[in-house]
Chain A
Amino acid sequence: MDIPYTVEARPDTGLTNGKIGIWLFLASEVMLFGALFASYILIRTGAQTWPRGDTILNVPLATFNTIVLITSSVTMVMAWASLMRNRFGTFRIYMGATVLLGGVFLVVKYFEYSHKFETGLFPSKNNFLAIYFTLTGLHMLHVIGGMAVNAYFLFPGSKLWKTNPQWFTNRVENSGLFWHFVDLVWIFLFPTLYLL
């Protein structure tokens, strides 16, 4: 049976089901990361001393990662724009770039984490490292999740473009919203952990 407003927007709300659904989900994610930021604030204000981010963490590497993620946001929105312009080939290029850049982010994080572990900087060492690993770790899980969804739309899921291009475009837009959110979280995470 057909669920209405899956592809077409409902006239009075002006929205499709998927668009509302993804924004509601993002609202819950705001509260999830919000709780971790609240924890950071409480722990830091209650601590006798707190190291400045750049004394422990690798700022140049993280700056590079910030640029990588922001760029991937641009390629993501360009992927959707390509679909809106009916250019499926261009979509594949941009979506591929988005997934690739996500992979670069993960590789950099791998090097960051392993270097920390090699020098004995584990989450158990102090609360700065604890909140650092927890915040970036949870963020990293979201990067992986976003990449998985994007890869799905790049490969098996792209079949939908042939049968229902509008529905496919909407789904890419919605997964793009998730990807931008992941970038948004990093925009706040980066200065909080690395620069302050």
Chain B
Amino acid sequence: MTTDHAVDIDKHVRIYISVFVTLMVLTIVTVAISRFHLPIHLAVTVALIVAVIKGSLVACYFMHLISEKKLIYWVLGLTVAFFVVLLALPVLTHSDGFWIRY
């Protein structure tokens, strides 16, 4: 099993290196942009976009998600859905006419 994957691995290693370089660049980028002290909504959006790109690279290539099996995609899809619910609903509940301010 290990030998017939050797060629594949070489290709993978090249990808790992390029992902590494991209991640370094994006790290510098996100820190540099933060120095501009953008208005908060813009700052959050930009930071989130960069973080999602970086995270996706780690997930897709280091964690091999890009070539994973369907079952894993289903589990993660479900998880992401509930993650979004957990992040969104409490703050939505509190911004909807809440009359108690803590």
Residues of A within 8 A of B (CB): 13-15, 19-20, 23-24, 27, 30-31, 34-35, 37-38, 41-42, 45-46, 52, 54, 59, 63, 66-67, 70-71, 73-74, 76-78, 81, 83-86, 165-166, 169, 176-177, 180-181, 183-184, 187-188, 191-192, 194-196
- B residues with CB within 8 A of A: 1-3, 5-6, 9, 12-13, 16-17, 19-20, 23-24, 27, 30-31, 34, 37, 40, 43-44, 47-48, 50-51, 54-55, 58-59, 62-63, 69, 71-72, 75-76, 78-80, 82-83, 86-87, 90-91, 94-95, 101-102
Contacts of A20 in B (CB 8 A): 71-72
Provide the bound-state CA to CA distance between A196 and B45, in Å.
10
With known contacts A34-B86, A78-B16, A180-B63, A63–B72 Cβ distance under 8 A = no
Please give the distance in Å from B43's CB to the nearest CB on chain A: 6
Cβ contact of B62, chosen from A15, A73, A83, cutoff 8 A? A73
The majority secondary structure among interface residues of chain A is helix
Find out whether the CB atom of A15 lies under 8 angstroms from the CB atom of B3: no
Bound-complex Cα distance A194 to B5 (A): 41
A78:B75 contact, CB within 8 angstroms: no
Beta-carbon contact of B102 and A46 below 8 Å = yes
CA gap between A16 and B30 in the complex, in Å: 38
**When chains A and B are docked, how far (Å) is the Cα of A169 from the Cα of B2?**
10
Please determine whether B34 and A191 come into contact, CB atoms closer than 8 angstroms: yes
B55 shortest CB reach to chain A, Å: 5
Residues of B within 8 A of A180 (CB): 58-59, 62-63
Q: List 18 A-B pairs, Cβ < 8 Å.
A: A14-B69, A15-B71, A15-B72, A31-B86, A35-B86, A52-B37, A63-B31, A81-B12, A176-B63, A177-B63, A180-B59, A180-B63, A184-B59, A187-B51, A191-B51, A195-B31, A195-B47, A196-B47
